[in-house]
Amino acid sequence: MNKERRKRLNEIAVRTDAIIEKLASVSEDLQQIQAEEQDYYDMMPEPFQNGIKGLNAQAAIDALQDAIDNLDTMSSELDEFLQNIDAASM
């Protein structure tokens, strides 16, 4: 691989690293919101936990966990992508 193509691959890797950092930041924000929602749910009296408010809170907690898991998967896929870019630039 010539120097110019290596340079372009390096630029792609840098941009991808920035995306991974943003995904990590978003994941942290989602985890904070999820923890707050979990605290809200945990502080509810048991009858409310079993009612509409509790069910809605639990659904939000579960949906946030799914979103966090999706971000983790994307980050892992991007890490693998970077490994392939690195291998290609040898």
List, run by run, the mean pLDDT of 10-residue segments along the chain (90 residues). 94 97 98 98 96 97 98 97 94
Number of domains in the chain: 1
pLDDT computed for residue 90 by the predictor: 83
Domain that holds residue 22: 3-88
Checking 18-22 for CB contacts under 8 A at 24+ apart, the result is 19/78, 20/75, 20/78, 20/79
Q: How far is CA 74 from CA 55, 60, 68, 80, 83, in A?
A: 29, 21, 10, 10, 14
Cα radius of gyration rounded to whole Å, the chain: 20
What pLDDT was estimated at residue 41? 98
Contact 82, 13 (CB under 8 A): yes
